[in-house]
Amino acid sequence: MKKISLVQIKENRKGKVIEILGGTNLQERLMNMGVYKGKEVTKLSHIGLRGPVVIKSGRSIFALGHGVAAKVILEQE
């Protein structure tokens, strides 16, 4: 098991969300969209340097700005 942020995890890899750093507003926004602690998400792509990260969570696809992605910590097996 290793802890890794959404920015660092490689494309096409899965991980379980274990922590969302940052304010409650961000946590709540992500939680409302279905990205919460314990949820398994797949990183689809990462656009360029410091660009947004695209993930798949359930049947939804989300794009997260680089700064947001850096705050989502995953547990990767």
Q: What is the rounded end-to-end Cα distance, in angstroms, of the chain?
A: 5
Q: Does residue 23 touch another protein according to CB under 8 A?
A: no
Using CB under 8 A, which of 31, 42, 75, 76 touches another protein?
Answer: 31
Segment 48 to 77, residues that bind another protein, using CB under 8 A: 48-52, 54, 58-68
7 and 70 Cβ atoms separated by less than 8 Å? yes
- Torsion angles phi and psi, residue 35, rounded to 5: -110, 100
Select the residue interacting with another protein from 39, 42, 75, 76 (CB under 8 A): 39
Instruction: Please tell me whether residue 10 binds another protein under the rule CB under 8 A.
Output: no
